[in-house]
Amino acid sequence: MDKRFSWVVLTVLAACTCKAFGGNPLTELAEEVKDKGWIVFSARSANGSWDLFVMRPDGSQRRQLTDTPQVEEAGPRYSPDGKRLLFRTMKRGTVLDHDQWGFAGSLTVADWDASNRRSLGSEGEFTWASWLPDGKQVVCLTLKGILVVDLATMEVVRRIDRQGIFQQLYCSPDGTALCGVGNYRGQTWTIMRVDMADGKVNEVNSLQSCTPDWFSDSRRVIYSCRPAGQRANRGYGWTQLWMADAAGGEQRLVYGEDGTHVYGGALSPDDRYVLFTRCEVDGGGAEKAGGSMHLMRLADAPTIRGRSTALRKLHPETKDGPVLTLPRGWEPHWTYAELEY
Amino acid sequence: MGTMRLRWAVCGLVVVACAGGCRQRPADGADAEVVRRGSVEVTAELVEIPDKFPDIPMYDYAFVLKYRVLEVHRGEVAADVIYVGHYNPLKARAEAADARVREIGGDVKRIRAGDIHRMALEVPIDDYYMGGIINKYHGTAQGPIYWAVWTNRVVR
């Protein structure tokens, strides 16, 4: 009898220990992603300016890549092979406008560790630049149109009508399409897709949407949206993270939480994980110090945090998956390239 | 008696001078800016405001408004009715310029239906402005959308 009782006690203790340590969903998620490449992002550093940083996807091994108090640096993106960075460099004191930062300062290219940096063009040139798949060209958004620019010569090799797109333009990983924010059929702040072959556009999601980015399959887009009709926040609502088919349709909530605006959605290179920023103020906090960055599994979408009563009612299918909290920052971008930081 | 006349004359002069000083420009809305800016200059009546201007200080936008053209001062306008995008229409024109849109202005303090504006315009809007455009006339309006560069009030 005593022996049987001891076994029961031991089993219960083992189960509790497992739950308390091994079974923590956050710990499991952190463990799962910690060796999956690097995330580059901009953040305020000790010198008060925006500098570039990297970290492991679980937030560990945070390193400051640049320490340049004389300028602000923002919006870094790894080249497709992960060996170079593209970002904007601005005069010290420039306020990073959440909608207009891509127009500010000059375009800068550097190696993955921010060495060998070089300015491409002057202030206000090559705005909203993003990599094309070969890493030899970038695509830019200007008043005069969408420009494909050769990085070796900085010459415009192709021009496409921007068709109402006015900010946050990104090229798909396979180079076949662009996504951006624009005016489409009378609606503004619409996520639009441009076919690179024929220049045709389609709507991905209309109204009060922004900060789109591509999935690695080049078929889906992640973006922020503040759906109309929300009663929360005195009727203004909260901005949530959504995904949709780039051809339009199949919109799905990825992450939402009453009390915060969610921006800066980005995928891991294998589309298994989602990065984003949360901020209590609309705009993502770029004007001050950014927001807290977070990571979740795409398989856990939709995930809703907090009470979010109305949102939960709208999305009863929420999985409430684990969400890692990472350091403060802004516009994170992820590579699986093996880099020795 | 002579002193009295002199006093009245001085008062009259002061009133006339004040009136002249208060009126910065003629009632037709012409001033040094509106006559030189843009490629088109018109006097036009704002027919209506099709919807409430969104009050969202975090976001800048242009709102398309319908005008009946009364007079063309410069350039060519193809129709009697034109559609004009005003940047951040809740702001007085003199305070609307910002980092995104630097070269706009005028003396209109509030945009109201039925008012007559003398405007310096550019066309089409997409060649001069890159930002959000709210266009409630999409699908019904004919012709290009103009961009309001300078907007002065006309007193009739």
Note the pLDDT tens digit of each residue in A107-139: 999 999 999 999 999 999 999 999 999 999 999
User: Could you tell me the strand order of the sheet in which A291-297 lies?
Assistant: A63-64, A50-55, A38-44, A323-335, A291-297, A273-279, A261-267
Residue A283: both structure tokens together = 């705009």
Is the per-residue pLDDT at A5 higher than 90? no
Residue A132: both structure tokens together = 């094309």
Contact A183 B100 (CB under 8 A): no
Match 């300062």 to its residue by tokens: A105
Contact B138 A164 (CB under 8 A): no
Task: Tell me the mean pLDDT in the region A31-59.
Answer: 97
Contact A100 B100 (CB under 8 A): yes
Task: Tell me the mean pLDDT in the region A277-294.
Answer: 82
User: pLDDT confidence of B56, banded at 50, 70, 90?
Assistant: confident
pTM of this structure: 0.88
Percentage of chain A with pLDDT > 90?
A: 84
- Cα A271 to Cα A112, A141, A218, A247: the distances in Å are 22, 26, 11, 18
Q: Give start and end residues of each alpha helix (H) in chain B.
A: 2-22
Strand locations in chain B (E): 40-48, 61-74, 81-87, 105-106, 116-122, 132-134, 145-154
Is the per-residue pLDDT at A258 higher than 50? yes
Vertex B120: Cα angle to B117 and B121 (nearest 5)? 110
Distance from CA of B132 to the nearest CA of A (A): 5
pLDDT at res. B20: 46
Is the per-residue pLDDT at B150 higher than 90? yes
Residue B44: both structure tokens together = 């036009």
Q: Which of A188, A211, A226, A288 to mutate to test the interface with B (most CBs of B within 10 A)?
A: A188
Tell me whether residue A195 is exposed, middle or buried, using C-beta atoms within 10 angstroms of its C-beta: 0 to 12, 13 to 18, 19 or more. middle
Q: Which of B126, B128, B145 to mutate to test the interface with A (most CBs of A within 10 A)?
A: B126
Residue B58 in contact with partner chain A when CB distance is under 8 A:
yes
Contact A186 B138 (CB under 8 A): yes
Please report the domains of chain B, with CATH numbers, ordered by start residue.
Answer: 29-154 (2.40.50)
pLDDT at res. B17: 47
Please report the domains of chain A, with CATH numbers, ordered by start residue.
Answer: 24-333 (2.120.10.30)
For A37, what's the count of Cα atoms within 13 Å in the CB-facing half-sphere? 18
Distance from CA of A283 to the nearest CA of B (A): 7
Residue B59 in contact with partner chain A when CB distance is under 8 A:
yes
Asked whether the CA dihedral A301, A250, A209, A176 is positive or negative, the reply is positive
| Distant-in-sequence, close-in-space partners of A102: CB < 8 Å, separation ≥ 6 | A75, A88, A127, A128, A129, A141, A167, A168, A169
- Cα A330 to Cα A95, A292, B154: the distances in Å are 13, 8, 47
User: pLDDT confidence of B18, banded at 50, 70, 90?
Assistant: very low
Closest CA to B34 of B75, B77, B4: B75
For A143, the closest of B59, B130, B137 (CB atoms) is B130
Residue B144 in contact with partner chain A when CB distance is under 8 A:
no
Strand locations in A196-239 (E): 201-205, 209-214, 220-225
Specify whether the CB–CB gap between B47 and B81 falls below 8 A: yes
For A183, the closest of B99, B128, B133 (CB atoms) is B133
User: pLDDT confidence of B16, banded at 50, 70, 90?
Assistant: very low
Distance from CA of A288 to the nearest CA of B (A): 14
